[in-house]
Structure 1
Amino acid sequence: MDDAAVLVPPVKLPAERELAEQAKAVPMLGYALKLARWAAPHRAVDEFGDLTVPDRAPAAQLLGLAPAEGEVPEEAEVEAMRAWSLACDLDLVELGTTAAGEHVAVPGPDLEPAEEGDPETVLELWLTAAGIVRELAVEADSLPEEGAPPEEEEAAAGEEDEDGLSEVEEARDAAAELLDEALQVLYETTAFAEPGNETVPLGVLAALLVVPEGEEPSEELLGDITDVMVALDPMLGDLAELGLVDYRPIDPELFDEEEGAEPGPEGAAVGEAPLDEEESARFGLVRLTPLGQYGIRQWLLEDGYDAPLVGELAQGDAAELLRGVCESTNVLPDEELRVWITGKEPVAAARELLAAARGDDAYAPMRRMLCVSALNLLGAPAEPAVRDVLDDPELGGGARAWLTALGAADVPVPERQMALWTVVDTFAAQLLDSGGDAELLRELIDDLPAIGDPASYFGELWRVDHPYTADVLEAIGELHPDRAVAKEARKAAFKARSRN
């Protein structure tokens, strides 16, 4: 994967047993397993470990690639040979020589546990196979085009022409980088996609790789997008064979139809109106499968990236949950909270969360904000636990606001000191959570009752005993649109700093 700093979003993955079942259902891996079993107790091979000529047609028939009776097409034999090669690469069959000097293949030690569906064995085999196919896809993309001059073909074969060989290496590195970047973008896009919306048009994927963020594609960039689409098309097709992606390739007739025009990122020719959904799909559609997410995550981990799973922070108690979410940079808070509360009794869960939200340490305001988010997920059944903390100096203000939002009519108005402390705490949580995102803070600032008499309001606010009082006042002073109010907030911030 790319060496640049990457913040990898958390992903949801099925259980390993379910992933293993999906891996065994991938035709190419299934073929390799069948051929490995077919090799028992041993099967003659040629000096290169390939199937002998008499065995190739029966192998294709065994795999259902050709009718049981009659002539076997050459392409079926080629496919069987590919499956046999994969079985050898995965050590599902082991090669050796008999005492009589015959070359033979026998089933490897991983065959039986793989056939029985052992998740660890199956996923390790699938991941190895995916890595092999990934490398072969890149190699194929970097070879000289058919009909290239003989000297280029020799260079691709590693013969004589060093300059040509260097060009092939450069092309291979470029293809590998492009594929890695595309898989990384697919991984991130899938992580944030709503269920059922994981499919990405190939043109959109190419545009994400080519067009700088925030810019519209120029005609020149549209040409680059087309080049990327064409380069990715065969590579994604190869990865689809191992179930890493679901892929609908570019319609080969498309470029003949669009002769003289250049396809745009939405699947329309430059200067033409966007095509309908079915026509656009002819330019390629790709979806990263759960197996694909699993594989890319493993590659990311091998490359030293932090690639978390949704729910990893939700395995301990409420204190561990809230602390973990606060301290993690690549986390989906609502997902972690949702995983944690699943199956828990609402009142007991709410009490545990509220207890964990107390404190005056650096992350305490953010913990209280997360606690409210979790209470929202628990809903009305958590109400008894929330009512128990109405008079708590740290939790009471948020508890009253939560009950009011729930529609409760008998919520007591908080005392002035509690109300002011809650204002500071709410602002502090946003400062911590968003890093001072101006838009979010302005929404809170708009609700402040400071316009009429800012000196009086901030005269109270700077005296609030909260670790973030001065920081909150400084933020208000920087962002409030009313210059008089902003000036009073800055003066109050100075007084709060001086007091400390």
Structure 2
Amino acid sequence: MAGRRRKNAGADSAGGPAEGAAEAVLPADLELQDLYGAFAAHGLDDDDLDDSAVLVPPVRLPSEDELAAQAKAVPMLGYALQLARWTAPHRPVDELGDLTGPDRAPAARLLGLAPEEGEAPEEAVVEAMRAWSLACDLDLIEIGTTAAGEHVAIPGPDLEPAEQGDAETVLELWLTAAGIVRELAVEADSLPDEAEGEGPEDGEEDEERLAEVEEAREAAAELLDEALQVLYETTAFAEPGTETVPLGVLAALLVVPEGEEPSEELLGDITDVMVTLDPMLGDLAELGLLDYRPIDPELFDEEEGEAPAEAALGEEPLDEEESARFGLVRLTPLGQYGIRQWLLEDGYDAPLVGELAQGDAADLLRGICEATNVLPEQELLAWVTGREPVAAARELLEAARGHDAYAPMRRMLCQLALGMIGPEAEPAAREVLDDPELGGGVRAWLTSVDAADVPAPERSMALWTVVDTFAAQLLDTGGDAELLRELITGLPVTDNPASYFGELWRVDHPYTADVLEAVGELHLDRTVAKEARKAAFKARSKG
């Protein structure tokens, strides 16, 4: 599955998505330098990271048993299982492995696609034959030849475990089926418009026509891949119940360059993308990968109406029913599972929420710090949930110690986790009040939970904690100037900044100079900024 590449207005563009599109900034929209640039000064050089990396956000999936149950409930897969069972002990087929004429209508009736009495409708037979073809592609049905030379179909070895609900077997079958349907959807979209039978006049024209078809197939496959990854990202960040995306918004995210509004020309491109995606998304919906309401075909029959994109993304808001006519798509949990598997197969890092919470506290904090795509609060919450509060707090505090480049961020994450545990963590926090690395932070946390008799820190501990806390923010924000400027205004600088920074540059902390340089660069008070820069120079010289 190709990694998503969002369009950019220019090399320096930092704008958000098109108006009317999702407002959240996705990890894949950010430059690695913007995310992790602050690490480089301390050996965490982002040159080691792949500049072309696609940062896939973590998702939360149901258990494999739940996913398997959803997969078995997909009608097309259910039909394939029924037909495979129907072949037992064997059933005659033609030389191509298809059902013979006399068995086609009974197959449609078996699946409930045709009435028990009377002639089976042609569309019901076609649907049954599609299910038969899928069952053969999945090896739920195997084709062989008897000693007498007759072609017969028999159940494949995966049928019984799939019928019994073996999650691994069912999900493997569903994923294979989804891949087949995905390929067929792309192939159908890339077929030429010429009617069948109008063949080329010579070999050279034949080659050109094949090249055009292949180019169209590649373009359709790339568009579908990008659309699926956008859906994967937006679903990962969506609040429960808000995962449905209007088709026009999805198309705009794929077409409109960052920071631009849709122009008249782009609205035409968005309409083209909507029309291209419409049948492909409908095909994927058959396998339960999506919930999809297609574009109302009557929209194209209205003589004096706006183009679908112009109407769907226009300034005038549409009511819910009118908006739905332009297409609505929602990625299902089964769809999230499938896209994640495709991403993993192609070598992308596609984490699950809670993966980092499987080990001890050291693994947890280190993993969050080192991960390029993680939701820290979700991982911390998954780890603390169900653990004995005091023991969990002790383990977190122990894991937060250190002087390495990530240590300030570990201590910040530790305090965040203590907040999730709540006042029950107080005994463990009081045990480290005199720890030079942890004492200042736990005092602040104890005060925040209204603990009684919290002693004030010594001056040296207070200054060290200031540097450590600000260093954590440098790492956490990736050097974002706006966010850091807000934090800098809260520094306890007195009316005599020379005296304050005269103390601060002497603090023995790996990030002292970095913190002072940030203050010197971003503080709005020129006197304070000047003293901070002087102090940063002294800290560097001392180092």
TM-score by length of 1: 0.95
Q: Is the 8 A contact 2:393 2:429 kept in 1?
A: yes
Q: Which amino acid in the other structure matches residue 284 of structure 2?
A: L
Q: C-alpha distance in 2, partners of 1:163/1:149?
A: 17
Deviation at 1:119, TM superposition (A): 1.1
Paired residue for 1:201? 246
Return the alpha-carbon distance in structure 1 between the equivalents of residues 300 and 352 of structure 2.
41
1:294-316 residue CA offsets vs partner (Å, 9 max, x unmatched): 11111111111111111111111
RMSD of aligned Cα (Å): 1.7
Tell me the amino acid that sits aligned with residue 493 of structure 2. Answer: A
- Pairing of 1:419-430 with structure 2 (within 5 A): 419-430=462-473
What displacement does 1:266 show? 6.6
Q: Check the 8 A contact 2:429/2:442 in 1, yes or no.
A: yes
Measured after TM superposition, the shift of residue 142 of structure 1 is 0.8
Which secondary structure state, in structure 2, belongs to the residue aligned with residue 307 of structure 1? coil
Residue 7 (structure 1) aligns with? 55
For the residue of structure 2 that corresponds to 1:101, the secondary structure is coil
In structure 2, relative to structure 1, the CA distance for the partners of 1:341 and 1:159 (3 Å cut) is farther
Is residue 94–residue 151 contact of structure 2 (8 Å, CA) maintained in 1? yes
Please report how far the alpha carbon of residue 462 of structure 1 lies from its aligned counterpart in structure 2 after TM superposition.
0.6
1:95-494 pair list within 5 angstroms? 95-145=143-193, 148=194, 154=199, 161-257=206-302, 259-264=304-309, 267=312, 273-450=316-493, 452-494=495-537
SS in 2 for 1:60: helix
Q: Secondary structure at the match of 1:474?
A: helix
Q: 1-side partners of 2:298 and 2:389: how far apart?
A: 58
The residue type paired with residue 109 of structure 1 is P
- 1-side partners of 2:156 and 2:478: how far apart? 55
Counterpart Cα distance in 2 of 1:219 and 1:285: 23
Instruction: State the shift of 1:451 in Å.
Output: 5.5
| CA–CA separation in structure 2 for the residues paired with 1:96 and 1:150 | 33
Indicate conservation of the 8 Å contact 2:299/2:308, yes or no. Answer: no
Letter paired with 1:166: A
Cα distance in 1 between the residues matched to 2:270 and 2:341: 28
Match of 1:70 in 2: 118
Deviation track 1:391-428 (CA, whole Å, cap 9, x = no partner) reads 22211211121122223353222222111111100111
TM-superposed deviation, 1:222? 1.0
**For 2:496 and 2:311, how far apart are their aligned partners in 1?**
55
CA drift of 1:160 comes to: 6.6
- The yes-or-no answer on 1:38 pairing with 2:81 is no
Deviations 1:419-449 (A, max 9, x none): 1111100111111222211122112101113
Give 2:95's aligned residue.
47
* Unaligned residue ranges in structure 1 (runs of 5+): none
| Offset at residue 450 of structure 1 (A) | 2.1
Aligned residue identity for 2:516 = L
Give the equivalent residue in structure 1 for 2:46: none
Structure 1: distance between partners of 2:204 and 2:195: 14
Runs of 4+ in 1 over 6 A off after TM superposition: none
What is the one-letter code of the residue matched to 1:82?
R
CA displacement at 1:48 relative to structure 2: 1.1
C-alpha distance in structure 1 between counterparts of 2:452 and 2:373, whole Å = 39
Q: Is the 8 A contact 1:92 1:107 kept in 2?
A: yes
Q: Deviations over 1:98-119 (max 9, x none)?
A: 1222111000111111111111
Q: Which has the higher contact order (CA 8 A, sep 6+)?
A: 2
Q: Which string of whole-angstrom CA distances, capped at 9 and with x for unpartnered residues, describes residues 2-56 of structure 1?
A: 2553111111111111111111111000000000000000001111111111111
Distance 1:22 1:219 in 2: 42
Whole-angstrom CA distance in 2 between matches of 1:259 and 1:74: 37
Q: Which moved more, 1:220-229 or 1:161-170?
A: 161-170
SS, match of residue 301 in structure 2: helix
Q: Provide the C-alpha distance between the structure 2 equivalents of 1:453 and 1:354, rounded to a whole number of angstroms.
A: 35
Change (3 A) 1:258 1:290: farther
Give unmatched runs, 5+ long, in structure 2: 4-51
Letter of the structure 2 residue corresponding to residue 250 of structure 1: I
Whether the aligned pair in 2 keeps the contact of 1:20 and 1:123 (CA below 8 Å) is yes
CA shift, 1:71, in A, is 2.3
Identity %: 83
SS at match of 1:257: coil
Give the C-alpha shift of residue 220 in structure 1: 1.0
**Structure 1 residue 290, shift from structure 2 partner:** 1.1
- CA offsets, 1:64-85, max 9 Å, x none? 1112222211111100000000
Contact 2:87 2:154 in 1 (8 A): yes
TM-score, length of structure 2 as denominator length:
0.88
Instruction: Give the Cα–Cα distance (whole angstroms) in 2 for the partners of residues 340 and 409 of structure 1.
Output: 28
In 2, distance between residues paired with 1:131 and 1:448? 55
CA contact (8 A) 1:375 1:382 kept: yes
Distance 2:310 2:359 in 1: 45
TM-superposed CA distance for 1:62, in Å, is 0.7
- Cα distance in 2 between the residues matched to 1:124 and 1:159: 42
Cα distance in 2, alignment partners of residues 408 and 314 from structure 1 = 28
Residues 311-368 of structure 1 deviation map (CA, whole Å, 9 limit, x = unaligned):
1111111011111111111111111111111110112111110111111111110100
Provide the aligned length of Structure 1 versus Structure 2: 493
Distance 2:487 2:453 in 1: 25
Letter in 2 for 1:393: P
1:49–1:105 CA contact under 8 A, matched in 2: yes
Question: In 2, are the aligned partners of 1:266 and 1:274 still within 8 Å (CA)?
Answer: no
1:248, 1:197 → 2: CA distance? 16
Is the Cα contact below 8 Å between 1:451 and 1:485 reproduced in 2? Answer: no
State the Cα distance separating 1:499 from its structure 2 match.
Answer: 1.2
SS in structure 1 at match of 2:312: coil
Which has the higher mean CA deviation after the structures are superposed, 387-396 or 128-137? Answer: 387-396
